[in-house]
Amino acid sequence: MASHDALGCWLGCLLASALTAACAPAAPTPSEPTSATTSATATPASAEPTSAPTSAPTANASATAKPAETAVHAVAADPGPLPKGLKILVIGDSFAEALGVGLRRKEADFGGKAVLRGEKATFIPEWAGPKRGVNLLLLQEKPDLVVIALGGNELAIKTPEIRKPKVQELVKLIGNTPCVWVSPPLWGNQDNGLLGIIHDNSQPCRYFDSNKLSPDLPRGSDKIHPTAEGQMQWAQIFLEWVRKERDVANKTFALRPRQPEE
């Protein structure tokens, strides 16, 4: 009897153990933490495409900028021809007449017009005052460029420094119109210091040094004024200088600012 009771007890315990194992919750599989880890590391990887397009436009922008820079350098190296219809007003003494005649003969070449208002035996103070009516000339002619050729009749005065305020006054009359003061070409005489006075006080006008930029002009029988050939030569050199000194960045005609070495 005791033997049957022991066997029944053993079978009952065995059945209880089996039922307990079957009803217990399943243990987590080792693949679940691995999946979580993979998901965590995938976030930086998904950010990589975002950084790639950012670097691509930078490279493209750099490549695009190069042709523009090249174009700017090309313009600076060669401003191209003078604008068609350029109107040049020439004022001054007999040298203004000589240069003005040369510019007139070059009108077809540069596609513009030269207006000559020079007069022999005139002086800087006359043009700086009301007598010559520079203000009225500017209103009437509306030039794109004013050329001043004065000083040749004053190369013998003993005190050239007295011309300093008159040079400044004449330049003020021209206002914002681009201008160039063309120095008289020396003819065997020595500069009395007047050319330096003109150079230092004619800003913002540019200064065209005829004795450096257009030396050895053919002279007439007086050994002073250029011949017809000399007038053309002087005008050609001057026009080429103006062409190279043109400020192409400006919408209207303008010359680049005077450089220290000028």
pLDDT tens profile 63-107: 444 444 444 444 456 899 999 999 999 999 999 999 999 999 999
Helix (H) or strand (E) holding 116, with range, is strand 113-118
Q: What integer pLDDT is reported at residue 249 of this predicted model?
A: 93
Name the residue among 215, 217, 216 with its Cα closest to residue 229: 217
Q: What is the pLDDT of residue 262?
A: 92
| Per-residue confidence (pLDDT) for residue 76, from 0 to 100 | 57
Work out the mean pLDDT of the chain and round it to a whole number. Answer: 81
Residue 252 predicted with pLDDT over 70: yes
Q: What is the pLDDT of residue 190?
A: 87
pLDDT tens digits along 6-46: 444 444 444 444 444 444 444 444 443 333 333 333 333 33
Name all domains of the chain by residue range, CATH numbers in brackets: 87-245 (3.40.50.1110)
pLDDT digit string (tens) for 178-237?
999 999 999 988 899 999 999 999 999 999 999 999 999 999 999 999 999 999 999 999
Give the whole-angstrom CA distance, residue 143 versus residue 75: 25
114 pLDDT above the threshold of 90: yes
Please, are residues 256 and 247 in contact by the beta-carbon 8 Å criterion?
Answer: yes
pLDDT value, residue 59 = 42
pLDDT class for 119, splitting at 50, 70, 90? very high
Task: Specify the pLDDT at position 86.
Answer: 98
Contacts of 236 (CB under 8 A, 6+ apart): 102, 106
Contact 198, 171 (CB under 8 A): no
Q: In what order do the strands lie in the sheet with 87-92?
A: 113-118, 87-92, 145-149, 179-182, 206-208
Q: Would you state the pLDDT for residue 224?
A: 97
What is residue 219's DSSP assignment?
A: B
- What global pTM score does this model have? 0.71
Smallest Cα–Cα separation from 230: which of 222, 221, 218? 218
> Contact, 218 vs 226, CB < 8 A?
yes
Question: In three state form, how does the secondary structure of 61-115 look?
Answer: HHHHHHHHHHHHHHHHHCCCCCCCCCEEEEEECHHHHHHHHHHHHCHHHHCCEEE
Angle in degrees, CA 8, 10, 14, rounded to 5: 115
